[in-house]
Structure formats: C-alpha cells, structure tokens
Amino acid sequence: MFRMLWAAAAVTASAAWAAPSCGGHGSPETLLVSTAWLAAHLRDPQLVVLAVGDRAAYDRSHIPDAAFLPYQDLSSRQSTLTLELPPMGDLANTFAALGVGNDSRIVVYVGAGGRVIQATRAYLTLDAMGLGARTSLLDGGLEARQSEGRPISSETPAPRRGTLSPCAQSDVIVDSAYLAAHLRQAGVDIVDARAPEFFTGQSASSGKRRGHIPGAANLPFSTFTDAQGKLLAADTLRQMFQSAGIRPGDRVVSYCHIGLQATMVYFAARYLGYDARLYDGSWEDWSAHTELPAETAARE
C-alpha cells in the first residue's frame, strides 16, 4: 500500500522537477522510483537514466537509452584511499558526458553483474554535487524490470553532452575530525554498515585494526533490501533505525570499510527524512589514525 501511495505522489511531484535547480536533497516522494514510474516517464525529454555495474553485462542488456556510468569514475584517482569522491570538476565532466545537466531528471539503477550499493554510491555522489533533489534510485534495478517483461536493449546510446555546473554540498561528507568531535554526542548517531563480524572485531580486513568507532550502532547494509534487491518498506526501515537508537530528528553518520556499503545507510536515512552524512574515508581512514579510539564487541 505504501508503494502504491508513493507512486501516486511521485506523479504529482514530477512537476517540481521541471525547473533547473542545484542544491538540496531528495525526499521520500522523489528518492525511489518504481519500474512502472520509469516506464511511464522513459521518453521524458529531461530524463537521464544511468546504469551502474558491469560493462560487459550492460552491453548485453540495459534499459533502453540508459548510459553506462563506470564505477571507477566515482572515485578520486589522486586519493590514497580506496574510495573517495573525486574533485567537483572531474565529476562535472563525467556526468555531463553522460548527458546530465542542471535541468535533468536523473534515475540511477544497478545493472546485471552489479550491486545495489554501487547505485547508492552514485546517488550519494550526485547528492554531493547538488543534484540529490533531482535524482532517484530505481527500486530493484534491471532485475526488477526484466522480471516484469519490460523491454531491454543492447544498443549503446550516444548521449548529448549536458550543461552541468555542480554546487558542492557541505552537508553530505564528513571526515575523521568530525567524527572524533562527535563521539557519543546526543543527536548524532554513528552507524557502522559492515557485517557484524567486522563490527565486533571478530574479523578484520588485511592491515586494518579490529573493531568499530566508539558508540556506533551496527546496521549491516545487506539488511536494507529484500531478496529481489528492492528497498524494504519505509515502516520496516524506520523500525530498524529506531531499534538502533536513532530517534526522529537525529543526524545519521554512516561508515563502512571504504565508503561503499555505508551509502545504503545514507540513502535509507535520506529516504526516511533523516539528516544524513557519510564518512567517506570510513574504517580504512579511521584505522590508519592509530591515535583514534576503537571498540570491539557488540554495543550493549
């Protein structure tokens, strides 16, 4: 029922995307679109559909007119970290070449051979560029579309370059200094999106310390979607956040190994209306700062 009501609201909200804009974040009415919504809007002149995943799989089958977004273009080539947002100028070139402009209505989806967190990382990137209010995630990705028998294509479109001037948002990314200054602070909820064995310190990535950031709650990224890769219902997600001690009005700051898995928490938090942030360096960065504290075992 929630998804049916949301779909109706999304049609009404589409008029709000007509004018070019930069800045702000998405809302529950815009952040997630269904395959039915996309089918109804696929020929809209301002729509840009971006596929994230495996290039070979994209070449075999993708949503008609969708452009391929290389996942490596979402990471800085100059950073010493595994995954970190590139400079705004580089991102502007990447997305403009795919047809994205300041007047675009953007839908990102995960294609065959990809993972949902690659699509949520793409959303986070566009949100940091000031295009979050104009960007949506396709619920269930290509697999959902194919399961419904909707048309797919193997033809690679030649997108016209968009006119894009990003406006970097200061309320998307945080660093280790921010987290160190807000440990156990009321109203700032740190969420670890890794699997429980990494959170407790039972397992550790090669060369990294064991444990988690002090005071963090553990909400594994893999628990946010169902077996078909669709986002869980809003009421279910809201209960998950509340069970982790996250209250309405709190700020949710997520992290994981490198800043990929945590984008699922970031997306879900924005979807539920929370003020969200991502620690882009994540545990890779925190672990390297040996002066910063770490905890092991599950939170009481």
Tens of pLDDT, residues 171-228: 999 999 999 999 999 999 999 999 999 999 999 999 899 999 999 999 999 999 999 9
Where is the domain boundary, 106, 129, 147?
Answer: 147
Please report the pLDDT score of residue 6 as a whole number: 34
- Residues 126-168 have pLDDT tens digits of 999 999 999 999 999 999 999 999 999 999 998 789 999 999 9
Give the closest residue to 52 by CA, choosing from 70, 35, 29: 70
Confirm whether 227 is domain-assigned: yes
72 and 120 fall within a common domain:
yes
Termini Cα distance of the chain: 35
DSSP state of 161: P
Could you tell me the residue range of the domain that residue 245 belongs to?
A: 173-288
Look at residues 147, 164, 182 and tell me which one is the last residue of a structural domain: 147
**Which one-letter DSSP state was computed for residue 93?**
H
- Domain presence at residue 198: yes
Q: Please tell me whether residues 129 and 185 are part of one structural domain.
A: no
pLDDT at 78: 85
- In a shared domain, residues 183 and 245: yes
Tell whether 187 and 66 lie within a shared domain. no
With residues binned 3-state (H G I as helix, E B as strand, rest as coil), the percentages for the chain, rounded to 5, are 35, 15, 50
- 12 and 112 together in one domain: yes
For the residues 5-16, what does the mean pLDDT come to? 39
- H-helix segments, the chain: 2-13, 35-41, 55-60, 88-97, 116-128, 141-147, 176-181, 196-200, 234-243, 262-271, 282-288
State how far the Cα of 44 lies from the Cα of 194, in Å rounded to an integer.
Answer: 38
Are 119 and 191 in a shared domain?
A: no
Is 154 a domain residue? Answer: no
Q: What is the mean pLDDT of residues 281-292?
A: 96
The answer on 123 and 23 residing in a single domain is: yes
Residue 152 lies in a domain: no
Q: Is residue 158 situated within a structural domain? A: no
* pLDDT band at residue 263 using 50, 70 and 90 as cut-offs: very high
Q: Are 71 and 51 in contact (CB under 8 A)?
A: no
Q: Are residues 184 and 98 in the same domain?
A: no
Question: CA–CA separation, 43 vs 223, rounded Å?
Answer: 34
| One domain, residues 60 and 140 | yes
**208 and 107, same domain (yes or no):** no
135 and 233 in a single domain? The answer is: no
Rg (the chain; Cα; Å) = 19
Number of domains in the chain: 2
Q: 143 and 181, same structural domain?
A: no
> Does the residue 31 lie in any domain?
yes
**Phi, psi values for residue 156, rounded to 5°:** -90, 120
pLDDT of residue 122: 98
pLDDT band at 14 (very low <50, low <70, confident <90, very high): very low
* Tokens standing for residue 160: 């016209």
Q: Which residue has the tokens 């016209």?
A: 160
Sheet containing strand 67-69, edge to edge, reads: 32-33, 135-138, 105-110, 47-52, 67-69
Per-residue pLDDT of 43-75, as tens digits, reads 999 999 999 989 999 999 999 999 999 988 999
Task: Answer for the pair 274, 252: CB distance below 8 angstroms, yes or no.
Answer: yes
> What is the value of pTM for the model shown?
0.92
**CATH number of the domain enclosing 195:** 3.40.250.10
Is 296 part of a structural domain of the chain?
A: no
Give pLDDT tens digits for 78-116: 889 899 999 999 999 999 999 999 999 999 999 988 899
